[in-house]
Structure 1
Amino acid sequence: MNKYLIIGLGIFGRELAMSLIEKGAEVIAVDERMELVEEIEDKVTYAIKLDAMDEKALSSIGADEI
């Protein structure tokens, strides 16, 4: 199974995440806006509110392995 990290859940990010999920991919969705994370959290593999500029935070969710 392919694994993807989507950073930013605006219109493009949300559509990309949904398209990848439909193709059977594992999707980790990240945004700093909790309302966007909550909208998608039950549709993707894992969704988290996170500052994508924080390298340690990204590393903590395994971003460096994707």
Structure 2
Amino acid sequence: MIVEATALAGEYQINVEYHLASGSFFEEAQKSITDNEIDLVVMGMGVKSFDQSLLGNTTTKAIHRFKPILVIFP
């Protein structure tokens, strides 16, 4: 998937950076957003299970924490 994303980014002259971190997703994501002056967060969201519908998931929570955010549905 990274290979395809990198190819598309190059085709459309989009600057894409990958970041790998451990710890709390929200703390690490917020740190990266702040440190790198990120303008837009893009996240994928798959089909939700019954449990995710009741409890929410990372993408759902991120929608409420990070602005602006673009969610891609398959």
Pick the TM interval, shorter chain.
Answer: 0.3 to 0.5
Task: Name the TM-score, length of structure 1 as normaliser.
Answer: 0.37
Task: Name the TM-score, length of structure 2 as normaliser.
Answer: 0.34
Question: Which protein is bigger by CA-based radius of gyration?
Answer: 2
**Higher share of residues assigned strand:** 1
